[in-house]
């Protein structure tokens, strides 16, 4: 009877050994890199894969029932942070198809005992492989809405990110931050020590009902003047509610929506972007528009621009008037289904719009004329 023998991996030359690791299951390869120092050292020298590294802090809490159902089928219920690795598999019709491998950070009570792992020279947080799915769940905070003393989850996320960067080639970084992430300061985080170049960077609020995130002027300047971003999507306000001059708009795609109280029109004129979409919370002066059109038509500015959409919207009120109305109906609405809540919110929005029409007829007429002017003048398809 033949006896199974151990495969002599370490007796192979380096290149064949690398090919063996490349053919391994990704989950097994990652587990080996966290449990075997020789494997980690070898992968650091002979990186086996090229990936996109994706960070997500907080979560976008979708309101529709269908979206909630779809999300629940794949994501752990108490996740609040994740690190994803996007592996290039094949090219279909000139489109890159990626396999996705996730590390989900969840509340610690949802993670059982696991084998001991080492990440970036430190003992890893408790981790389990996901049942019948690729990826790991990581034992994070006791309560996802409160940081544990010393923020060990953030420390481990940093170590895990460095570990992945050591063993794989990174061709693109993606960062998404939702304002629901408690006790975490994005602008004072480890991210910027790892990279300042992103394929995509987005900062958004958690869901429609919460207030838009306010950030300091220095942080807005940091995003535009210190980072290299291909696609940027921001939903933030200047905490001081004033224009910030001197921002560098060189992103290929830029979307500043429902919140922009800080962008200078001169910076739009000097942009090298291909597509810009901005929701201003201030009235755009006619002189600014005329100047922009003249410079664009003369070819002096906006030479790369394919699509430019500038819109003005009414700034969201931050008083508690709406909350008072909601409080009166809390007892009645508490047991309603998700779609009923959405219907009530839609009705409230319609009432607010109708109530404001009589008092703001002149402003509405001006905005209408301004929108027509911009649609005719600024929107240019490729």
pLDDT at 252: 97
> Contact, 118 vs 38, CB < 8 A?
no
Q: Which of 210, 227, 256 is the last residue of a domain?
A: 210
125 and 252 both lie in a single domain: no
Report the C-alpha gap between 220 and 262 in whole angstroms.
Answer: 9
Q: Is the pLDDT of residue 325 over 50?
A: no
Over residues 55-77, the mean pLDDT reads 64
111 and 179 both lie in a single domain: yes
More confident residue, 71 or 344: 71
Q: Which of 192, 210, 228 is the last residue of a domain?
A: 210
More confident residue, 302 or 93: 302
102 and 202 both lie in a single domain: yes
> Contact, 207 vs 61, CB < 8 A?
yes
pLDDT at 37: 92
Q: For 28-55, what is the HEC assignment?
A: HHHHHHHHCHHHHHHHHHCCCCEEEEEE
Domain annotation covers residue 53: yes
46 and 171 both lie in a single domain: yes
143 and 198 both lie in a single domain: yes
Q: For 311-353, what is the HEC assignment?
A: EECCCCCCCCHHHHHHHHCHHHHCCCCHHHHHHHHHHHHHHHH
Return the residue matching tokens 């094949």: 90
246 and 167 both lie in a single domain: no
Beta bridge partners of 138: 105, 127
187 and 133 both lie in a single domain: yes
Q: Is the pLDDT of residue 289 over 80?
A: yes
Report the C-alpha gap between 278 and 292 in whole angstroms.
Answer: 15
More confident residue, 137 or 163: 163
Q: Is the pLDDT of residue 328 over 90?
A: no
Report the C-alpha gap between 138 and 129 in whole angstroms.
Answer: 9
More confident residue, 288 or 8: 288
Q: Residue 38: how many CB atoms within 10 A of its CB?
A: 10
Domain annotation covers residue 221: no
pLDDT at 373: 47
313 and 202 both lie in a single domain: no
Domain annotation covers residue 217: no
> Contact, 126 vs 139, CB < 8 A?
yes
Q: Is the pLDDT of residue 9 over 60?
A: yes
- DSSP letter for 244, please: B
Over residues 29-58, the mean pLDDT reads 94
Over residues 344-373, the mean pLDDT reads 48
To the nearest whole number, what is the mean pLDDT of the chain? Answer: 80
Domain annotation covers residue 337: no
Q: Which of 23-32, 54-63, 300-309 has the lowest mean pLDDT?
A: 54-63
277 and 359 both lie in a single domain: yes
Domain annotation covers residue 218: no
Helical (H) or strand (E) element with 180: none
Q: Which residue range is the domain that position 201 belongs to?
A: 7-210
What digits encode the pLDDT tens for the residues 73-87?
Answer: 578 888 899 999 998
Position 198 confidence tier, pLDDT thresholds 50, 70, 90: very high
pTM strictly above 0.85 = no
Domain annotation covers residue 1: no
Report the C-alpha gap between 375 and 382 in whole angstroms.
Answer: 15
- DSSP letter for 284, please: P
Q: Which of 40-44, 180-184, 202-206 has the lowest mean pLDDT?
A: 180-184
HSE, side-chain direction, 13 A CA sphere, residue 182: 10
Closest alpha carbon to 259 in 220, 302, 306:
220
178 and 277 both lie in a single domain: no
% of residues, the chain, pLDDT over 90: 45
pLDDT at 381: 41
Domain annotation covers residue 216: no
pLDDT at 356: 46
Q: Which of 191, 210, 229 is the last residue of a domain?
A: 210
Q: Is the pLDDT of residue 320 over 60?
A: no
What digits encode the pLDDT tens for the residues 242-270?
Answer: 999 999 999 999 999 878 999 999 999 99
| b (16+ CB within 10 A) / e for 351-369 | eeeeeeeeeeeeeeeebee
pLDDT at 113: 82
Domain annotation covers residue 73: yes
> Contact, 247 vs 220, CB < 8 A?
yes
98 and 139 both lie in a single domain: yes
Number of domains in the chain: 2
| b (16+ CB within 10 A) / e for 110-145 | ebeebeebbbbeeebbbbbeeeeeebbbbbbbeebe
Q: Is the pLDDT of residue 341 over 60?
A: no
Over residues 278-307, the mean pLDDT reads 91
> Contact, 224 vs 233, CB < 8 A?
no
More confident residue, 96 or 330: 96
14 and 157 both lie in a single domain: yes
């Amino acid at each position: 009877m033949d006896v199974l023998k151990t495969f002599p991996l370490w007796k192979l030359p380096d290149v064949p050994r690398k090919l063996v690791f490349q053919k391994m299951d990704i989950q097994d390869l990652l587990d080996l890199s966290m449990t075997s120092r020789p494997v980690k050292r070898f992968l650091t020298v002979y990186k086996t894969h090229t990936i996109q590294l994706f960070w997500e802090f907080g979560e976008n809490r979708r309101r529709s029932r269908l979206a909630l159902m779809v999300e629940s089928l794949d994501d752990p219920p108490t996740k609040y942070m994740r690190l994803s690795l996007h592996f290039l598999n094949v090219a279909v019709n000139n489109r890159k198809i990626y396999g996705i491998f996730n590390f989900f950070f969840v509340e610690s009570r949802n993670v059982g005992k696991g084998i001991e792992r080492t990440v970036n020279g430190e003992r890893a947080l408790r981790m389990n492989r996901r049942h019948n799915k690729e990826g790991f769940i990581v034992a994070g905070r006791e309560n996802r809405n409160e940081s544990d003393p010393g923020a060990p989850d953030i420390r481990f996320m940093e170590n895990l990110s460095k570990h992945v960067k050591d063993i794989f080639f990174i061709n693109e970084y993606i960062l998404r931050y939702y304002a629901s992430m408690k006790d975490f300061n994005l602008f004072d985080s480890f991210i910027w020590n790892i990279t300042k170049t992103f394929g995509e960077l987005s900062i958004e609020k958690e869901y429609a009902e919460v207030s838009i995130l306010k950030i300091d002027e220095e942080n807005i300047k940091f995003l535009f003047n210190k980072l290299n971003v291909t696609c940027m999507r921001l939903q933030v306000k200047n905490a001081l509610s004033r224009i910030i001059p001197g921002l560098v708009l060189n992103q290929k795609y830029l979307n500043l929506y429902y919140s922009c109280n800080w962008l200078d029109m001169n910076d739009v004129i000097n942009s090298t972007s291909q597509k810009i979409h901005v929701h201003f919370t201030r009235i755009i002066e006619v002189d600014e528009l005329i100047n922009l059109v003249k410079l664009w038509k003369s070819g002096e500015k906006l030479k790369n621009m394919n699509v430019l959409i500038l819109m003005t919207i009414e700034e969201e009120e931050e008083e508690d008037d709406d909350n008072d109305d909601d409080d009166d109906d809390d007892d009645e609405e508490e047991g309603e289904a998700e779609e009923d809540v959405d219907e009530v919110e839609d009705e409230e929005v319609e009432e607010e719009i109708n109530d404001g029409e009589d008092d703001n007829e002149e402003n509405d007429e001006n905005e209408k004329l301004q929108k027509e002017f911009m649609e005719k003048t600024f929107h240019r398809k490729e």
